[in-house]
Amino acid sequence: MSEAPPTESELIERAAAGDSDAFGALVTPHLSLFHNGIHRILGNTADTQDALQDALMSIHRDLPKFEGRSRFSSWGYKVCLNAALMVRRSRVRIHDMERPEPLALGPFDGRGHHAEAERLPEWQVEAQAHDLVERQELRACLNRALDELPDSHRIVFVLKDLEDWETDDIARHLQLTHGTVRQRLHRARVLLQARLRAHVLGGRA
């Protein structure tokens, strides 16, 4: 009779004690989740890989402190988001934080620009975001749209509407004012709403 595979709790205990094989078995099922979460924030393959490596080292280092109050995947995911924020912070220049970044609408543009998009029904992102990304076509559309957002707007949208962070936490982590966070979130929502609306109505995204 074959031996039953170790449970996640057992892997955590072994990995925290220094068992590298157990650590590999623990994190491997979640690597895709971790990678995607980081990439949504950074939007750059090289930076994503760097942040993922930093996150895995942090997870390994802090695993003895993990108390099991949440799922390991949730705890590890938060570590990955923090690693992504650290990488982003290291590459942000001062002038990017001091002046508004011009936002080229590009493929999102309509004849009414922002005014046209703002006449659309209010998009309840908090209630719908996770439902949308569960659908393959809309998830792909959303990812493409996120890639086209300026970095400063994409990260605010991801943290607020996909990761459900509080505005206070976003402002503190990104060293922005509340007003700037709200402004960037609004502009990101307008553009993403227009892109997804075009996809749903006519497959033009």
Four-way CATH pick for 98-202: 2.120.10.30, 1.10.10.10, 1.10.1740.10, 1.25.40.10: 1.10.10.10
- What digits encode the pLDDT tens for the residues 30-82? 999 999 999 988 888 899 999 999 999 999 999 999 988 888 998 999 899 98
Question: Which residue from 9, 15, 31, 19 is spatially nearest to 63, judged by alpha carbons?
Answer: 15
Residue 84 vs residue 202, higher pLDDT: 84
Output b/e per residue, 79-116; b: 16+ Cβ within 10 A: bbbebbbebbeeeeeeeeeeeeeebeeeebeeeeebee
pTM above 0.75, yes or no: no
- What digits encode the pLDDT tens for the residues 132-181? 444 566 667 777 778 788 888 888 998 998 888 899 989 988 888 999 99
* Residue boundaries of the structural domains of the chain: 8-91, 98-202
Helix or strand (DSSP H, E) at 191: helix 178-202
Residue 156 to residue 69: CA distance in whole angstroms: 27
Q: Looking at residue 205, what is its pLDDT?
A: 41
Q: Which of 12-16, 104-108, 111-115, 131-135 holds the top average pLDDT? A: 12-16
Indicate whether 115 pLDDT > 50: no
CATH class of the domain defined by 8-91: mainly alpha
